[in-house]
Structures are given as structure tokens and as C-alpha cells.
Chains A and B, each alone.
Chain A
Amino acid sequence: MSEPLEKEVRAALEQLRDTQFADGFEARAVARWQRELGGRPTTMAQIERRARQFVPVALAASLLLALYTAYGDDRASATNLSIVARALGWQRVEPSIDRAIDAAGYESLYATLYELPQLNTDGGAR
């Protein structure tokens, strides 16, 4: 590798590395760790498993909102929904997430889905 090339590559990577996590990372990590201690789903694989259980009975907005709940209220933001949606291969649906939730009415969907047993227990009824 030539010296100028190595310099350019290192500079590009350093620029990335110097971009630290957004403010509040420690709090987010601690909240997630606490969910882990509480036996709630924390890893993407766990969330994906739960989401797949849920697919047959959910409309798009309902599914995403269920994941919202499963993921934990303190991470309930459109940003994190996007992460989950992408993990499920829903990348192309992302821009419509907020609109779908708005249209469906967050409060009523949340109230309905919150009662579903599969959100809080493994192997619950669909």
C-alpha cells in the first residue's frame, strides 16, 4: 500500500472513529442492560423471533407498534423502530412508519397490543 493511500484510508477511518455515539449512550446502554436483567428481549435476534411470531396476525402499523412495546418503552422512538424494521427486512417501509402509527392512533393501538400475551411471555397465544 502506498503511503498516500494509507494516509487517505486512515484519515477516512479516523473521521468515522471520531464520530462518537450520540449523547445519552450510557443511559441507553444501562436501560437495555436492565431489560436484560429483567428477562425482557434485548438482542435483535430475540426481537426478530418475537416479531416473526407476530407477523401472521398483524397489519404493518400494528406489527411495528408491537415491536415498539416489546423493545421497551424507554426506547420507543421512530429511530429505534427503524432499526427493528430494517432487521426484519422492512427497509422500504421505513418512511411510512410514523405516518402509519399516526394514522392508526398510537394510544388505541398501544392499549390493544399491550394486552397481547406474546409480547411479554414466550410462546404465548397468537
Chain B
Amino acid sequence: MFSDGPVENAAEHRLVRLAAAGDERAFREIVRTYQATVAGVVTAMLGPGDDADDVGQETFIKLVRAMPSFRGDASLRTFITRIAMNASLDMLARRKRELRFVRLGSDDDPVSASLADDSVAGDTEQEHAERARQVQQAIDSLDGKHRAVVVLRVLEERSTNEAAQILGVPPGTVMSRLTRALRKLDVLLRPVIDR
């Protein structure tokens, strides 16, 4: 497994250069090494399923294609996380465009309506499952850029600067997006958490 040291970075760069030149073994090695990292980001952003798989594949293709623009001032893991995150955001934007056409729309705010629903089952296991579903639903209600900072800061435990580097925005923007996202989650989930 690679880490972020200079020797490992040089080995990583060499692998990606080989893959860019058509070396299948190098490409496989990259996929094997970073599959879990990429899966972590895209499934946290998109949920598991076909879209995540598709974006995962796209991430590795883009990595190889983007190699000439990789300056090496960040680790390859950070670079690939950035590609995975951007590809996930593109997919979320695409989903949003599609939903505009297909949503038949009965509730103005289905998330709030659902989270306000008190019909939680009685026994503990069901309660737990219901609660997890509600938390997931609240996270899903965040738009892509806010979800991205939550994933990077809360789940991946990246620093503000790292998150800023991955998202290509200033650190202040990461902080304000995180504050806004957490405030929204707090409002949506307080009744669930306090229950």
C-alpha cells in the first residue's frame, strides 16, 4: 500500500505514467491500490449501486488521462480523491437535471415531511433502522457541494486545507459550507436524535 512519502510518491507517479502509456499491469495495480479510496468517496457521495460503479471506473480513466496535469504537490491519494469527488458531483448534478423531468411531485418538502413522521416502530432494532434511514435521508437532502464537505471533513477526517485542495475552493468556503451543512442536518435531525 502506498503512503505519502517522497519515495512512495515517485513510485505512484511512475505507475500512473506507465498506465498512461498503456501498461495494463500498472493500471490494474492503481485500481487495486485505490479502489477502496475511490469507492469510499463515491459511495458516500452517491450511495451504492450502478452510478457509483460507473463513476468509480470513470475516476480511474480520468486519473490516467489527467496525469500530465498532476504537479505532484499533493499525494496521489488526494489527487484521485479530487477526481472521484468531482466526478461524483457531476453525477449528482446529472441526477438533479433528470429529476426535474421525472418528479411528479406531491410533497413540497418530502425530507422534512418524512423526518417529522413520528410513526417509528416500537422495538429497538426497528427504531435503530428507522433512525438510520432518517439520518441517511437528511444527508441525501444536502446538495452536492455541501455533502462533499461533510464527506471530506466528517467521514474522511480531512483537514480544512486538504478539503479545500480537493474541492478546489478556498478554506473559508469549506468552513462556511460545512457550517451551513451541519446546521441543516442539525435542524432536520434534532427531533430524531432527541427522540
Contacts and interface: CB of A to CB of B under 8 A. Distances in A.
Contacts of A12: 132, 135-136, 139
A16 interface: yes
Contacts of B50: 79-80, 82-83
Interface residues of A, number: 41
Nearest to B147: A13
Contact of A33 (B27, B155, B192): B27
Interface string B88-116: 00000011011001100000000000000
Contacts, number: 127
Contacts of A80: 50, 54
A5 B136 contact: no
Interface in A4-33: 4-6, 8-17, 19-22, 25-26, 28-30, 32-33
Contact of A21 (B39, B94, B101, B135): B39
B149 to A, nearest CB: 12
A28 B53 contact: yes
Task: Give the dominant DSSP class at A's interface.
Answer: helix
A12 B138 CA distance: 10
A87 B94 contact: yes
A17 B88 CA distance: 14
B60 A29 contact: yes
B56 A21 contact: yes
A69 interface: no
A30 to B, nearest CB: 6
Interface of A: 1-2, 4-6, 8-17, 19-22, 25-26, 28-30, 32-34, 36-37, 42-44, 79-80, 82-83, 86-87, 89, 91-92
